[in-house]
Amino acid sequence: MPEIRRDPISGEWISLSGDRQTRPLTVSGHLLACPFCPGPTTEVGLHAFQTAVFDNRFPAFDRPGASEIVVYSPDHWADLSTLSRDHLGAVWSAWHHRTQALGGRPDVAQVFIFENRGTKVGASIAHPHGQIYGYPFVPPRMQREGETWPDPCPLCRDDSPKLVERTLLATPDWRLVAPWAARMPFQLTLYPRAHHSDITTVDYQSGRDAMGILQVVYALYDRWFGHKTALVMALYQAPSHLFGRERYHLRFDCLPIERGPEKIKYLAGSELAMGAFVGDMLPEQVAASLRPLMQTAKGEL
């Protein structure tokens, strides 16, 4: 059973679980051993599904809190870069529904949707999937952002520094940029141009459009790096019950761990010990590097 402990020095909450070392490992992609493929003894069973959501048997949090798995498709090889547009809409609907359900629970302070794509960022199951954490506390980063979110909202106004140079795609509803102060070298941020604190107020069509842009981003990375890119996709949205949560502006961050072909961005002393990131590239350089590929990829939206 997970145990939540508070660091007496920093005040940060940490979830600890000795059971997580026994999680199944199927990074080889062997279908017969996959717990997320349809089968009589697997997590998803034999019932037909498009996208499945279920409790994680090796949770980071148990009540209070929640840990859920989102299996995007019964197809063992289908990830967000290959799903059809309608199927992407089903994934969006699952995220929307679970944000609404978990966010309404008194024991959930923060709903966090994310994907670890690839073994290099900790994916232990080869079958493409994401996760949803219902933190029973507000994580440190969200606590800081909630307390310091500027007014007026920096994502609502279009005069942030060098925005045009950093923009890869702008649609009527969404903007994709290399963020001004990126933590990882090839980090990209996708956010709605209208102010939304969480995804429950984003309509289905706009949400499906966002999924289509994320799909292009995944494909863009894969083309740039020349292989399936290991990355973390994170959806930041307002804490569930924090006062003033309506000021927060949701966003997706895509965080590849590579800084170039076969060059890993390792988190070392400053990042791991102090939480102070040291970047290897300017976001304007990242945008300029990816923009030629983006011109081709836009045709896939």
| Domain map (residue ranges) of the chain | 23-300
Q: What is the pLDDT at residue 102? A: 97
Tokens 């791991």, residue located: 272
Q: Are 161 and 169 in contact (CB under 8 A)?
A: no
pLDDT tens for each residue of 245-301: 999 999 999 999 988 777 788 777 877 787 788 888 899 999 999 999 887 766 666
Q: Are 49 and 115 in contact (CB under 8 A)?
A: no
CA-to-CA distance for 175 and 169, rounded, in angstroms?
6
How many Å is the Cα radius of gyration of the chain?
19
The predicted model scores a pTM of 0.91
Q: What is the pLDDT at residue 239? A: 94
Q: Which residues is 263 bridged to in the sheet?
A: 260
Fold classification of 23-300 (topology level): HIT family, subunit A (3.30.428)
Question: 190 φ, ψ to 5°?
Answer: -115, 130
Residue 282: Cβ within 10 Å count: 16
Q: Span 47-68, mean pLDDT?
A: 90
CA-to-CA distance for 113 and 85, rounded, in angstroms?
20
- The pLDDT confidence band at residue 71, using thresholds 50, 70 and 90, is very high
* Tokens coding 165: 């140079």
CA-to-CA distance for 182 and 255, rounded, in angstroms?
9
> Quick check: 25 pLDDT over 60?
no
Q: What is the pLDDT at residue 238? A: 95
Q: How many residues does the chain have?
A: 301
- The pLDDT confidence band at residue 18, using thresholds 50, 70 and 90, is low
Average predicted confidence (pLDDT) for the chain: 88
Q: Shortest CA distance to 288 belongs to which of 160, 186, 218?
A: 186
